[in-house]
Amino acid sequence: MPRSQHRTGGRHQRQRGHRSGDCIREIRTLDEIPPGGRARIRGHRAHGAVRQRLLDLGLHPQADVIMVRAAPLGDPLEIQLDSSLIALRRAEAVLIDIDAVSD
């Protein structure tokens, strides 16, 4: 089922996207980057202590990250931010909106 048709709490979830001319570009999240992929953080949808933890780790908007690898069962994810390696739960990575960056 497409993301825009999921139901949450009896309400339709709005499709997240950016309209550019006639095409809609889906906003991607950090958990969707393949190993070795690069991305730039657009923003967070986390709140409270989780948001503060992500910001404390250096995951600020406009920061460039590289997906290093995912654990065999998919959780946690290992990302590189500058010279630091950070392990994130997939549930936290889903809350970080990104733009793909080409080499």
- Percent of the residues in the chain that have a pLDDT greater than 70, as a whole number: 73
The residue among 23, 22, 16 whose CA lies nearest residue 2 is 16
Whole-model pTM: value is 0.70
**How far, in Å, CA of 41 to CA of 59, rounded?**
7
- Domain, as residue range, for 92: 26-100
**pLDDT digit string, tens, across residues 39-82:** 999 999 999 999 999 999 999 999 999 999 999 988 899 999 99
Domain membership of residue 21 (yes or no) is no
> Bridge partners of 11?
8
CATH number of 75's domain: 2.30.30.90
Domain membership of residue 19 (yes or no) is no
- Radius of gyration of the chain measured on its C-alpha atoms: 14
**How far, in Å, CA of 102 to CA of 11, rounded?**
36
